[in-house]
Amino acid sequence: MRVIVAAAGTAGHINPGLAIANKIKEKEPDSEIIFIGTTRGLENDLVPRAGYKLKTIEAYGLSKKISIENFKKMYVTLKATNKARDIIKEFKPDIVVGAGGYICGPVVWAAKKEKIPVILHESNAFPGKAVKMLAKKAETVLISFEEARNRIPRAKNIVFTGTPVKIEKKDYTEEEKNKILQNIGIKDDKPIILIFGGSQGAKKINEAIIGILENNLNKEYQIIWATGPKQYDNIKEELSKKKLDINNVKNAKILPYIYNMEEVMNISNVIVARSGAMTITEISNLGKPSILVPLPNVSQNHQLYNAKVLENVGAAKIILNDDLKKDNLNIEIEKIIKNPDLMNKMGKAAFSKSVKNVPEKIYKEIKKIVR
């Protein structure tokens, strides 16, 4: 099979594209797969690192705002369709897979001009503008949440598959769990609250956690906190101003980044995070209670809709970004950890939204089109 994957910008678009590519290679090792992205996004790191060739074109998200800058971007994006068409003519794919983001526009338009079938994958509960606009050009749109189905009225065919992620539920022995905790540098004597805001960190969440630590509110629980590499030094300085040593804060381990995230998520009792599609999927796979702080000012406010997928089944508590403070975050954490029945109920509700064998389901849909 010869496949082009269009994926650009964030890990939320690129990692599902890589997972799809990996499943195709697993099933059909002789397959040839290339990615099309831009020169600006994480694809320039993640795609080559995964062993795939990346072709780049310049494309931008289209805005309704009238300005010279937006007209320039529109012109560049329209021209990118021709470059995408050249790549498609040269590579001769059997199918084009759009994994989300503005890169899909020119690549899908080019594919249809060359009569190449297209399949789109939408990770979010509220579909992005690109997928909604391109849905009628695709043979199939794959969705990660059933809540997205009625929001893509122009699609010819919609199939619920879920989002492919690496993190899965694992039952560690006490010895294995203690070893993980020992490597992090905390004990197994209090509930563990895992806090992160994505690879870049989340300023508002970080501010609330600084307040909790400064006021020693985390007496009943301990924190594993990934600040994000770009914010770690700033947080170290802020804590220092409050006479706190970042390497020696009571009931807390503060790290710029967590490399063994699957292990740490599995041993944690509660997760506090943003609500990107991949995070929601990971929390569901693990069956963990969560407190979600949707990132504001993102397209279609999609993180709020992602968070509601878990809130609506009783698996999560949503605190809006502007409302987040040390006190209300601490109150919500303590509500969960002090009520084992609630913690268990929330965890089971989260697990009810887990989807099994996602890459296999996506591969089967691709094979229905490429025979």
Is residue 11 located within the same domain as residue 145? yes
Is residue 26 located within the same domain as residue 82? yes
Is residue 22 located within the same domain as residue 85? yes
Looking at residue 135, its pLDDT comes to: 94
Phi-psi map region of 151: left, alpha, beta (phi>0 left; psi -120 to 50 alpha): alpha
Is residue 93 located within the same domain as residue 194? no
Three state DSSP letters for 217-262: CCCCCEEEEECCHHHHHHHHHHHHHCCCCCCCCCCEEEECCCCCHH
Task: Compute the distance between CA of residue 340 and CA of residue 13 in angstroms, rounded to an integer.
Answer: 36
Q: Which residues pair with 123 in a beta bridge?
A: none
Looking at residue 201, its pLDDT comes to: 61
Q: Which residue has the tokens 């780049």?
A: 56
The SS3 call for residue 5 is: strand
Is residue 157 located within the same domain as residue 279? no
Is residue 29 located within the same domain as residue 125? yes
Is residue 154 located within the same domain as residue 26? yes
Looking at residue 73, its pLDDT comes to: 60
Is residue 363 located within the same domain as residue 306? no
Looking at residue 300, its pLDDT comes to: 73
Domains: count for the chain? 2
Q: Which residue has the tokens 């698996």?
A: 315
Whole-prediction pTM: 0.89
**168 located within any domain:** no
156 by Cβ neighbours in 10 Å (0-12 / 13-18 / 19+) ranks as exposed
Is residue 102 located within the same domain as residue 127? yes
Task: Compute the distance between CA of residue 129 and CA of residue 196 in angstroms, rounded to an integer.
Answer: 27
CATH of residue 97: 3.40.50.2000
Residues of the chain with pLDDT under 50: none
Is residue 137 located within the same domain as residue 203? no
Q: Residue 3, Cα to own-chain centre: how many angstroms?
A: 23
Range of the domain at 179: 174-351
Q: Residue 192, Cα to own-chain centre: how many angstroms?
A: 22
**Maximal CA-CA distance, the chain:** 65
What is the token pair recorded at 145? 């949440």
Is residue 142 located within the same domain as residue 195? no
Is residue 264 located within the same domain as residue 229? yes
Question: At a CB cut-off of 8 Å and minimum separation 6, what does 164 contact?
Answer: 15, 16, 19, 20, 23, 358, 359, 362
What is the token pair recorded at 306? 């992602």
Looking at residue 128, its pLDDT comes to: 83
